[in-house]
């Protein structure tokens, strides 16, 4: 989270975030001194809400393995979501709509997610299996996304079809030449 910067000075407030302090220790409500970060029984960060702060930078979830809720919507985050988002076991809500995120949507553990929205970004490729839990509105506004629940079907995977046809032609040609050479001997 150190790589984040506030793009709008009116939202630039003292969040109390300090690498040398524990975000979960400080008061009886277990909300610590880090603003917009909630903790579970003063031990683990369970919720980060950073919506509408016009934040820029990349989102890194490598150390967020116990989170229950992430809301980074309505900012200017860019880059790809980390591929290891599936490691955040027990994640219940993920909101990242209205950013500049791109790449493919990582394979979250959609069986636990109750709320999910990545609309209005720059994601591309097939939508992972969301177990029929989320509708088109969770993915809309990403012109390069395809697959259910969107109406845009993904192109069929014909990887190497041109090459495999050419390879088959060469193989059959080789057999024919071999047969011709063997019969002329």
CATH number at residue 147: 3.80.10.10
Structure token digits, residue 43: 């031990």
My answer on whether 145 and 178 are in the same domain is: no
Sheet holding 100-103, edge to edge: 5-6, 55-57, 76-80, 100-103, 122-126, 144-146
My answer on whether 28 and 78 are in the same domain is: yes
My answer on whether 180 and 125 are in the same domain is: no
My answer on whether 143 and 183 are in the same domain is: no
Cis? peptide before 149, omega within 30° of 0: yes
List per-residue pLDDT tens for the chain, 185 residues long.
Answer: 444 444 543 444 555 566 666 667 664 444 456 677 777 665 667 777 777 777 777 766 656 667 888 888 999 889 998 888 877 878 899 999 999 999 999 988 888 899 999 999 999 999 999 989 999 999 999 999 999 999 999 998 655 445 556 666 666 666 566 555 556 65
My answer on whether 177 and 113 are in the same domain is: no
Spatial contact of 105 and 82, defined as CB atoms under 8 Å apart: no
DSSP class per residue in 20-64: TS-TT-SSTTS--SSTTEEEETTTEEEEEE-TTS-EEE----TT-
Residue 18 gets which letter from DSSP? -
Count of domains forming the chain: 2
Q: What confidence score (pLDDT) does residue 181 get?
A: 59
My answer on whether 139 and 48 are in the same domain is: yes
My answer on whether 137 and 166 are in the same domain is: no
In the beta sheet, which residues pair with residue 69? 47, 93
My answer on whether 114 and 143 are in the same domain is: yes
Q: What confidence score (pLDDT) does residue 175 get?
A: 57
My answer on whether 20 and 108 are in the same domain is: yes
Among candidate residues 120, 151, 115, 107, the one with its CA nearest the CA of residue 134: 115
CA separation for the pair 47, 23 (Å, rounded): 11
> Whole domain around residue 182: which residue ranges?
159-185
My answer on whether 149 and 168 are in the same domain is: no
My answer on whether 101 and 24 are in the same domain is: yes
My answer on whether 77 and 139 are in the same domain is: yes
Q: Is the pTM of this model over 0.75?
A: no
């Amino acid at each position: 989270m150190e790589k984040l910067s506030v793009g709008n000075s009116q939202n630039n407030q003292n969040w109390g975030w300090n690498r040398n302090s524990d975000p979960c220790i400080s008061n009886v409500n277990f909300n610590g001194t880090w603003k917009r970060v909630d903790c579970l029984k003063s031990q683990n960060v369970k919720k980060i809400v950073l919506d509408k702060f016009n934040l820029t930078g990349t989102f890194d979830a490598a150390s967020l393995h116990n989170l229950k809720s992430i809301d980074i919507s309505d900012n200017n985050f860019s880059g790809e979501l980390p591929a290891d988002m599936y490691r955040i076991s027990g994640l219940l809500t993920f909101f990242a709509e209205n950013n500049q995120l791109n790449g493919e949507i990582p394979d979250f553990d959609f069986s636990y997610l109750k709320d999910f929205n990545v609309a209005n970004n720059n994601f591309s490729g097939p939508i992972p299996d969301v177990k029929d839990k989320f509708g088109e509105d969770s993915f809309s506004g990403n012109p390069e996304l395809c697959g259910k629940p969107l109406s845009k079907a993904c192109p069929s995977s014909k990887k190497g079809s041109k090459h495999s046809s050419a390879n088959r032609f060469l193989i059959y040609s080789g057999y024919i030449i071999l047969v011709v050479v063997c019969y002329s001997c």
